[in-house]
A and B are shown apart, each in its own frame.
Chain A
Amino acid sequence: MAAIDQSKIRNFCIVAHIDHGKSTLADRIIEKTGLLTSREMQAQVLDNMELERERGITIKAQTVRIIYNAKDGNEYIFNLIDTPGHVDFNYEVSRALAACDGAILVVDAAQGIEAQTLANVYLALDHDLDVFPVINKIDLPSAEPERVKDEIEDVIGIEAQDAPLISAKNGIGIEDVLEAIVEKIPAPGGSPDNPLQALIFDSVYDSYKGVIVFCRIMEGRVAKGTQIKMMATGATAEVAEVGYFGPGQFIPCEELSAGMVGYLTASIKNVKDTAVGDTVTDLNRPCAEPLPGYKKVNSMVYCGMYPADGAKYPDLRDALEKLKLNDASLNYEPETSVALGFGFRCGFLGLLHLEIIQERLEREYNLDLVTTAPGVIYRVHRTDGEMIELTNPSNLPDPSQIAYMEEPVVSAEIMVTTEFIGPIMQLCQERRGRYVSTEYIEAARALLKYELPLNEIIYDFFDALKSRSRGYASFDYEIKGYEESKLVKLDILINHEEVDALSFIVHADGAYERGRKMCEKLKEEIPRHLFEIPIQAAVGGKIIARETVKAMRKDVLAKCYGGDITRKKKLLEKQKEGKKRMRQIGSVEIPQSAFMSVLKLDDK
């Protein structure tokens, strides 16, 4: 293979707010460069997972190498690194950006800049990427490209007057984008002769090849047989294969050298050994220092996951194991609940991550799950000076042993049109937000900054935000740290028995409201029994709310006509079957749906 001219490589990504057309533009770029016929294109090439396509978001970074014959007569190699598009995956985004030399900023010609656009652009600028904007969806009747250009210049401070005006959906202006990539994105630096220094920006597990490590070679070279070392995890291995990313496939090559983006395999059994952000170097000729920015990713949100059918516990364990192979940010450990039996306490980057894992378990592994209310990690400072990180409310020590508790707080940025500032501020107040500032981006739009407890935003904050701004508000956040807070454990008692799976930590001021709502919801969910069932919410043994499920008055089939006994028996069987799917708490049978219903208390 002829040596690749480093000056003809362009490593870049596309950043955008969700729905602004990032994946569609990626598709068009791949299509225009001729490696794929239109017929081969699945709707969106880069969003691989079924789930990703359904939700219209990118969950894992996807990368593709394409060849572009530019107007200057040269052949260029483009490495397009598609980044995850959600705040849950901010760290992955930052590592993917670090693998690039430039970024295309896609802005919707009608909607303009949104909170997530800003967050992503600042992230790109922080990584010293050269960013150039393109204005997408210019064929929409509501498109205002000139206004959006001004907005980009005013708000972000990057040149936008010559931004390509495109419609990714209809293939308008794509050539301009390709030329702009050649002109505006710098060629990678680094020397093939230096010691190997490669950035891991993603990895996937393959049952034949082991872990496939996605990396950007900053310095040096790597080939089959190179002894490598991951500098942060310390893992070592011998490279079995290197290659680059064809559309939808891995294409082996002889060597990867400085400036290139590609993959390597080395019979690595676990993605834990190939942490995103780690630096790969040559074991025998190591680089002096790892690349900056490596961070151990921590789970932010925890919940209990239980198989609806207790016998499926081993299946759930196997499924989690398999998902973990591909997802180093998923954590789990076995736990037991009196109410739900054997299950796992699982940790996630955020609620979206949680939902994705839950859906994958249900769809790809055909599991029926009961999940408990997601919660954050609280820090419990005990009177004896010890600090516990609490992921399961049931493990909260006795109040007499607690000196104080802390909860995680985020810095949030909410972009909103000025007419909705009032309702949004009220929402933030309700969620115990602390006002920081308001910045007017233009006459009609403002960026609200708040500090909010994480546990107030993990449920339905985003939905509430959308509904109170008729969909116009956008939102981004990052973890700020821990702060002391007046937290209590809310317990639910059904027929005087505490149901561990329903306990959770809540701010003292919200306990009554929350407890009342939970009791109301459970009353709807628990069917009448032969006896009356009190449902109570309690804090520290004190009852703060109560509802009652009245005793079943009647369950009798009047008619049984013409000797049709089979129909009657089916009815009885259905009744008995229904009971089997319930969870037994003392003498009360609770449907699975009851555990899930309390997660959605704010539906009105």
Chain B
Amino acid sequence: MENLSIYIHIPFCVRKCLYCDFLSFSVCGKERLPAKEQSETSYVNRIGDKAFGEIESYVNLLRQEITRSAPEYKKYRVISIFFGGGTPSLLPAGALRAVLDSIRSGYRLADDVEITVEMNPDTVTEEKLEKYITSGVNRLSIGLQSADDAELARIGRVHDYGTFVRAYEMSRRAGFGNINIDVMAALPDQDIADYERTLRRVAALSPEHISAYSLTLEEHTPLFARQQEFRFPTDEEEREMYALTGKYLASLGYHRYEISNYARGGYECRHNKVYWQRGNYVGFGLGASSMVGNVRWSNPQAMERYRDYAGQIGRGPDCGTAAAVREKDADAFAVAHLSVPEQMEEFMFLGLRMMCGVSGQAFNAAFGVSLEEIYGELIGKLCAQRLLTREHDRVRLTERGIDVSNYVMAQFLFA
């Protein structure tokens, strides 16, 4: 029986952050409210009936897609489920439970299945947390980004630091023993001391897992358009922040297991690792990406198209499977049957994101040919440049290799 991970996309937010280019929509009418308009009351109270209607109808589509796709995944055992977004915690707790129920009734779950929900501090309530627990959710990922209210406002987050601390403590009281906190480095007008303060405050809360990403300015975001208004940390400062993160967190017992992820022993995110180690995963919901059996695809990003898709699965005279529906419109779903060389490329550029690197044995097992034969010369060259290092069977990035990992990874593409 093969392992499968499930990703559930919830494309709703209270409002979009200024740097965000993910697929999500604001459900509070006004997009990207200025931070000072934040009220003391929870944003949940401000979500109108129309938005609830929208969310409810989306959840129904999601359940339809999950249930109708189930026959294709009979031979798989689900080892992780991840609710990402958007803001999954915006869902009424009952809706989230209903989605999990759909999965439970159609799929075989591993006993130790990891079920993560991403949360925005502002949307957390005790009632919701209790329902998560009883629904089987056993891991939370809370988006903090910064412990500095001015920094939060600058990037258009809806919450302040105090709200986050309350949400975190509430989660602990509710019984969650596996919590991730997201922080961001290289924020506008942030200096190294500012970042270090956030890091210390977060570590003081002693979460099991910390994701520390550097802000990437994406085109077509408001922050990109307004970048002239701020001073952004230089590349050198950003790298210093990165080095600081690794060093400081290591001193507290967190190890870096992936370029941007840190965990205490035994708390590495199982779901996250599936992506880098090329495990099978299926994404349900609007625009969600999947890779199962060396086929990649993405769901439609337009709600109308997604609705059509969810409606077509398992319908019609020939009772088309989800895969058959996608194959009919392969371009729209970006269906890609990965060739062996493409699988090799992925094996390398994804695997190298893990600090343990890639294993020659695993390569051999996957492709029936040695890593040395395919990439030996390149690995030798990159080792000589001190971008990679080899230990026994494994090849991994050096510290310098991490700094320029895009360059290193691009070398492994054949084209």
Interface residues on B, range: 35 or more
B238 touching A563, Cβ below 8 Å: no
Encode A561-577 as 1/0 by CB contact (under 8 A) with B.
11111101101110110
B213 CB within 8 Å of chain A: yes
Which listed residue, A530, A555, A576, touches B385 by the CB 8 Å rule? Answer: A530
Chain B residues with CB under 8 Å of A569's CB are 345-346, 349, 413
A2 CB within 8 Å of chain B: no
Count A/B pairs, Cβ under 8 Å. 92
A470 CB within 8 Å of chain B: no
Given contacts A555-B404, A572-B406, whether A563 and B415 have CB atoms under 8 Å apart is no
Chain A residues with CB under 8 Å of B259's CB are 556, 558
B405 CB within 8 Å of chain A: yes
Chain B residues with CB under 8 Å of A604's CB are none
CB distance from A561 to the nearest CB of B (A): 6
Which chain B residues in 182-240 approach chain A with CB under 8 Å?
213-216, 235-236, 238-239
Report the interface size for chain A: residues with CB under 8 A from the other chain.
24
A557 touching B216, Cβ below 8 Å: yes
B275 touching A563, Cβ below 8 Å: yes
Stretch at the interface among B48-56, B136-144, B286-294, B360-368: B286-294
Which listed residue, B238, B296, B336, B406, touches A571 by the CB 8 Å rule? Answer: B406
Chain B residues with CB under 8 Å of A558's CB are 213-216, 259-260
B298 CB within 8 Å of chain A: yes
Look across to chain B and name the residue whose beta carbon is closest to the beta carbon of A557: B406
A530 touching B407, Cβ below 8 Å: yes
Chain B residues with CB under 8 Å of A557's CB are 216, 405-406
A554 touching B235, Cβ below 8 Å: yes
Expressed in whole angstroms, the Cα–Cα distance for A560 and B16 within the complex equals: 19
Expressed in whole angstroms, the Cα–Cα distance for A183 and B41 within the complex equals: 95
A559 CB within 8 Å of chain B: yes
A552 CB within 8 Å of chain B: yes
Chain A residues with CB under 8 Å of B106's CB are none
Which listed residue, B7, B214, B336, touches A562 by the CB 8 Å rule? Answer: B7
B22 CB within 8 Å of chain A: yes
Look across to chain A and name the residue whose beta carbon is closest to the beta carbon of B278: A565
A542 CB within 8 Å of chain B: no
A71 CB within 8 Å of chain B: no
Chain B residues with CB under 8 Å of A39's CB are none
Which chain B residues in 282-322 approach chain A with CB under 8 Å?
283, 288-291, 296, 298
B296 touching A565, Cβ below 8 Å: yes
Chain B residues with CB under 8 Å of A556's CB are 214, 259, 402-406
Which listed residue, A530, A552, A553, A563, touches B281 by the CB 8 Å rule? Answer: A563
B403 touching A555, Cβ below 8 Å: yes
Chain A residues with CB under 8 Å of B238's CB are 554
Expressed in whole angstroms, the Cα–Cα distance for A568 and B351 within the complex equals: 13
Look across to chain A and name the residue whose beta carbon is closest to the beta carbon of B186: A558
Given contacts A565-B289, A565-B296, A569-B345, whether A552 and B404 have CB atoms under 8 Å apart is yes
Which listed residue, B84, B346, B411, touches A565 by the CB 8 Å rule? Answer: B346
Encode B377-415 as 1/0 by CB contact (under 8 A) with A.
000000001010000000000000011111101110101
The winner among B235, B353, B403, B407 for most chain A CB atoms within 10 A is B407
B100 CB within 8 Å of chain A: no
Which listed residue, B7, B404, B405, B415, touches A573 by the CB 8 Å rule? Answer: B415
Expressed in whole angstroms, the Cα–Cα distance for A575 and B413 within the complex equals: 10
A555 touching B283, Cβ below 8 Å: no
Look across to chain A and name the residue whose beta carbon is closest to the beta carbon of B282: A563
Expressed in whole angstroms, the Cα–Cα distance for A504 and B306 within the complex equals: 61
B410 touching A572, Cβ below 8 Å: yes
Which listed residue, B215, B387, B403, touches A554 by the CB 8 Å rule? Answer: B403
Look across to chain B and name the residue whose beta carbon is closest to the beta carbon of A554: B235
Which chain A residues in 521-576 approach chain B with CB under 8 Å?
530, 552-566, 568-569, 571-573, 575-576
B84 touching A562, Cβ below 8 Å: yes
B9 CB within 8 Å of chain A: yes
B350 CB within 8 Å of chain A: yes
CB distance from A224 to the nearest CB of B (A): 60
CB distance from A573 to the nearest CB of B (A): 6
The winner among B9, B350, B387 for most chain A CB atoms within 10 A is B350
A553 touching B275, Cβ below 8 Å: no
Which listed residue, A552, A555, A566, A575, touches B336 by the CB 8 Å rule? Answer: A566
Expressed in whole angstroms, the Cα–Cα distance for A563 and B298 within the complex equals: 10
Which chain A residues in 48-84 approach chain B with CB under 8 Å?
none
Encode B335-370 as 1/0 by CB contact (under 8 A) with A.
010000000011001100100000000000000000
Look across to chain B and name the residue whose beta carbon is closest to the beta carbon of A531: B385
B59 CB within 8 Å of chain A: no
A565 touching B406, Cβ below 8 Å: no
Expressed in whole angstroms, the Cα–Cα distance for A562 and B5 within the complex equals: 12
Expressed in whole angstroms, the Cα–Cα distance for A555 and B238 within the complex equals: 11
Chain B residues with CB under 8 Å of A576's CB are 410-411, 413, 415
CB distance from B286 to the nearest CB of A (A): 11
Chain A residues with CB under 8 Å of B7's CB are 562-563
Which listed residue, A553, A566, A573, A575, touches B289 by the CB 8 Å rule? Answer: A566
Expressed in whole angstroms, the Cα–Cα distance for A562 and B271 within the complex equals: 10
B409 touching A553, Cβ below 8 Å: no
Which chain A residues in 564-602 approach chain B with CB under 8 Å?
564-566, 568-569, 571-573, 575-576, 579
Expressed in whole angstroms, the Cα–Cα distance for A484 and B22 within the complex equals: 67
Q: Which 5 A-B pairs have the closest CB atoms?
A: A553-B235, A558-B213, A572-B410, A555-B406, A554-B235
Residues in chain B within 8 A of chain A (CB atoms): 7, 9, 22, 84, 213-216, 235-236, 238-239, 259-260, 275, 281, 283, 288-291, 296, 298, 334, 336, 345-346, 349-350, 353, 385, 387, 402-407, 409-411, 413, 415
Q: Known contacts A563-B291, A568-B349; can you find 6 more A-B pairs with CB under 8 A? A: A530-B404, A557-B405, A560-B275, A562-B289, A563-B289, A566-B298
14 contacts between A and B (CB under 8 A): A530-B387, A552-B404, A552-B407, A554-B404, A556-B402, A557-B405, A558-B214, A563-B283, A565-B275, A565-B289, A568-B349, A569-B346, A576-B410, A576-B411
